[in-house]
Amino acid sequence: MIQFPNCKINLGLSILAKRADGYHELETVFYPIAVSDALEILPSDNLSLTQTGIAVPGDPVQNLCLKAYHLLKKDFPNLPAVKMHLQKNIPMGAGLGGGSSDGTSTLLILNQQFSLGLNDQQLIDYASQLGSDCPFFVYNKACHATGRGEVLTPIELDLTNYQFLLVHPGKHISTAWAFQQLNPNTKSESILSIIQKPISEWKALLINDFEAPVFKAEPTLIAIKEQLYQLGAIYASMSGSGSSLFGIFPKHHFEHAPTIEHALSVDLI
């Protein structure tokens, strides 16, 4: 069975408080974008994971696809061994949630392929054990997120009349480092309130708290954001803790991706 785990962007991201458990209380809106990896899972005599495309650094045992398998195997001892192949297209350390999407897709495929009978809420519970933004990919539609990102409420947000330009500048931003640069604080207006306003008002109101420290460390990123506005973006922002940026443009604004390095004109899910 094969699926195509897509990425996400953050529409606004507020870090509100440091929690007693060491995590941060946050608010954001997750939105799915049609840039995808490919994940194939087949029954096998032995558990294995192979990868092509973008190289994934680190110990393969820490890969979220394998972690997702072992998570289900604990509760479903009869789950057979599988061979997994991941074609990695979504860059890492980019604020796009590619690894989280891959891990969640593993849960979804295994549930379907081996008739485990898990409903959406149970899948969300498993996904939350993999990572804070993993549960979003069970919904895979616009969601208001609070808590550490795992408390999700689907919202009505239709951006099909717009075109997205996604830019990955080839920088890897450590999420742990990015959090260390912030001073959490409450905001005068919630992201949920701002997102309901006309998109033409987002530029002045909808802020990603990570932009200030990340742009200071990587000045090329703020130049890309400015270039997106020069190209006619109605709204532009960094996604997550970076380093990817996106611009939202009127539909059919570009017939082809413009001459901005590492840019890709993408459609919505």
**37, 88, 102, 133: which one is catalytic?**
133
CA angle, residues 76, 80, 81, in degrees to nearest 5: 120
Q: Are residues 39 and 85 in contact, defined by beta-carbon separation less than 8 angstroms?
A: yes
Q: Are residues 60 and 102 in contact, defined by beta-carbon separation less than 8 angstroms?
A: no
Among residues 268, 229, 231, which one has the least CA distance to residue 253?
231
Measured distance CA(269)–CA(257) in Å, rounded? 18
**8, 102, 209, 225: which one is catalytic?**
8
Q: Are residues 134 and 125 in contact, defined by beta-carbon separation less than 8 angstroms?
A: no
Catalytic residue flag (residue 67): no
Q: Is 38 strand, coil or helix?
A: strand
Catalytic residue flag (residue 37): no
Q: Are residues 230 and 222 in contact, defined by beta-carbon separation less than 8 angstroms?
A: no
CA 195 to chain centre: 18
List b or e across 35-48, with b for residues whose CB sees 16 or more CB atoms inside 10 angstroms: bbbbbebeeeeeee
Q: Count Cα neighbours of 31 within 13 Å in the Cβ-side half-sphere.
A: 22
| Residues with a known catalytic role | 8, 133
